Structure 1
């Protein structure tokens, strides 16, 4: 399974989906989500699946794909 990162911008009411934490910062600025790259990268993702700031909700999950028949 592949990981996916969902970013919900609270005030803009927009959702974005990324394949990595680094990819978030190619589209969004740290000010838009309320957290810098290094802080988000160093979050304890093995212990948490949601990271929330005053501006965004960031969730990490897995993509489930069907197997070829």
Structure 2
């Protein structure tokens, strides 16, 4: 695959009650879950410095940041 065909997008994986959810941003998480459910507010989660090497975990959830690899759609 050529370099120009690769695309990377941030994906946030949230595990709550053994169920898995995927989001495109931290803000999108809070459209589905509230701070009480997750045990952490939006501002505090932003301050954690979430990264692929540094997930966030508490007794309510696990939140991981990753990269979704895609390729460009070919026309024709």
TM above 0.5, yes or no, is yes
In structure 2, stretches of 5+ residues that fail to align are: 1-7
Match of 1:24 among 29, 44, 52: 29
RMSD: 1.7
1:56 counterpart residue number: 61
In structure 1, stretches of 5+ residues that fail to align are: none
Instruction: Give the secondary structure class of the aligned counterpart of 1:45.
Output: coil
Highest Rg: 1 or 2? 2
CA distance in 1, matches of 2:65, 2:38: 15
2:3 counterpart residue number: none
- Determine if contact 1:6/1:17 at 8 Å carries over to the other structure: yes
Equivalenced residue count is 67
Q: TM-score, normalised by structure 1?
A: 0.84
- List, as ranges, runs of 4+ consecutive aligned residues in structure 1 with deviation greater than 6 Å: none
Q: TM-score, normalised by structure 2?
A: 0.77
Residues 1-69 of structure 1 aligned to structure 2 (within 5 Å)? 1-9=8-16, 12-46=17-51, 48-68=53-73
CA shift in 2, pair 1:25/1:65, >3 Å? same
